[in-house]
Structure 1
Amino acid sequence: MRYDAVFLDVDGTLLWVDLDVEGYVEDLSPYAGNGGITVERATRPVWGSFRRHIRENIEHRTEETFARFRRRNAERTAGELGIKAPTEVLTEVAERRISFNPYPEAEPVLEELEALGVPLYVVSNWDIELEKVLEGLGWMRFFNGIVASAIFGVEKPRREIYDEALRVAGVPAGRAVMVGNDPVSDVRGASEAGVDAVFVDRKGGEAPEAAFIVSDLRGLPGIVRG
């Protein structure tokens, strides 16, 4: 086996995240003044809320502060759209209208890697509920451990999160490989920590530091096997 541990990014690598803006509008139109809201009007604030979540979730490392952050974020988005609804309604709708969509090859590749016997670890810039998302997909069975930025307190591409992943996996840098779609966070960050990187190039990018480049995950088992 070429590697003794595989580190996997999530968003853009194993799955993509989408927002159902139309559903958000449908759910909250009864609470909107001025004749309601439209998908066109809601799209920018709703996606802005999601990007804010990505930027700021690392600051909220406990369930209490994270729940507060979610409530404030939902209220801010609703305020931008003139929606007046109970906070619990806003939060529930915002959460329900996010979807996590596995790439078609993701689960078969995870199964193939599992059959190889190589330990798999998630290393992702994600909030404290990453394990909940993976459980919802039925994927926790594949992973020996999770290193989520909001729990550890450091985001990729910083070396510390890769050092933590190596510590959790119990392997030296030269025996692990990072798999991800971001040329900086996944590829450069791993490379600077001494970890080989597989660049999952789904959109046509460049990652000169990558040890391997694949268009999707199907080539990964062969790389790991060596």
Structure 2
Amino acid sequence: MSGFNGSGGSEYDAIFLDVDGTLTWVDLDVEGYASDLAPYCPGGLSASEARGPVWQSIKTHIRENINYRTTEELRAFKRRNALQTAGTLGIRAPEKLLVEVADRRMVFTPYPESETVLRELKATGIPLYIVSNWDILLRDVLDDLGWLGFFEGIIASAVVGLEKPDPGIFREALRLSGTEPSRTIHVGNDSNADVLGASEAGLDTFFVDRKGEGEVPGATFTGPDLTTLVDAVRG
């Protein structure tokens, strides 16, 4: 399918983009975590010992953060999660320090092409929106990256109470963008959450195939990264 109409412009009135695995990846400094908290662990703490429990805490956060829709609720959840990880590793540190270390040692790193592609997409004049399964602090993450100016709106699952692949989250994004599904494309790296969910809501999709999965049923376009996205939406 072409992303170009006969009048010389894109056939899309809005572009929705996922974040994790599409624009950024989670870069967890396990070595730094272990170094920070080893003084509070009898017998010390190595990165190899910390790696499994620390990554499990990230998975717990991803799986459960939608349940915490206020700053206070999320803060309490993060504290419990940090304490659970510390308990598994035998770390005896103040709660505040555990949360600070967990936050400091998790970095959202852009893929090499992400910012260039965002600039090119912005230059097309097509409004960009984030639609991502993320906690209520997604806006802060994008602000830290210096990316807020790229987007007309942000839909985070924990804010709206809906997660991809539920078509409802895409309908909420369509309400925000004011565009028709047939004139909107969603960009993401998950064949279920992004491609299936957006397709069921009536959107075209660009599957970012960073893992080399190959063609995915329902994907309008597929690329190994974001480098072909601008050409796809232009046609």
TM-score, with structure 2 as normaliser: 0.95
Q: Are positions 1:222 and 2:231 aligned together?
A: yes
Q: 1:103-182 alignment to 2 at 5 Å?
A: 103-182=111-190
Of 61, 65, 70, the residue aligned with 1:53 is 61
Paired residues in the alignment total: 225
Name the residue aligned to 2:76.
Answer: 68
TM-aligned CA deviation for residue 18 of structure 1: 1.5
Contact 1:16/1:103, CA 8 A, preserved across alignment: yes
Contact 1:2/1:223, CA 8 A, preserved across alignment: no
Separation in 2, partners of 1:209, 1:224: 17
Q: Please state whether the residue corresponding to 2:227 is helix, strand or coil.
A: helix
Separation in 1, partners of 2:200, 2:78: 34
TM-aligned CA deviation for residue 202 of structure 1: 0.8
Structure 1 stretches lacking a partner, 5+ long: none
Q: Are positions 1:10 and 2:19 aligned together?
A: yes
Q: Please state whether the residue corresponding to 1:89 is helix, strand or coil.
A: helix
Structure 2 stretches lacking a partner, 5+ long: 1-9
Q: Please state whether the residue corresponding to 2:228 is helix, strand or coil.
A: helix
TM-aligned CA deviation for residue 197 of structure 1: 0.6
TM-aligned CA deviation for residue 2 of structure 1: 1.8
TM-score, with structure 1 as normaliser: 0.98
Name the residue aligned to 2:4.
Answer: none
Q: Please state whether the residue corresponding to 1:217 is helix, strand or coil.
A: coil
**Corresponding letter in the other structure for 1:8:** L
Contact 1:201/1:216, CA 8 A, preserved across alignment: yes
Separation in 1, partners of 2:48, 2:111: 27
Q: Please state whether the residue corresponding to 1:157 is helix, strand or coil.
A: coil
Separation in 1, partners of 2:14, 2:227: 17
Q: Are positions 1:43 and 2:47 aligned together?
A: no
Separation in 1, partners of 2:65, 2:193: 17
TM-aligned CA deviation for residue 68 of structure 1: 0.2
TM-aligned CA deviation for residue 4 of structure 1: 0.6
**Corresponding letter in the other structure for 1:100:** F
Name the residue aligned to 1:185.
Answer: 193
Q: Which runs of 4+ in 1 moved over 6 A?
A: none
Aligned CA RMSD, in angstroms, stands at: 0.6
Q: Are positions 1:194 and 2:202 aligned together?
A: yes
Q: Are positions 1:98 and 2:110 aligned together?
A: no
| Alignment deviations for residues 89-131 of structure 1 (CA, whole Å, 9 cap, x no partner) | 0000000000111011110111011111000000000000000
TM-aligned CA deviation for residue 205 of structure 1: 1.1
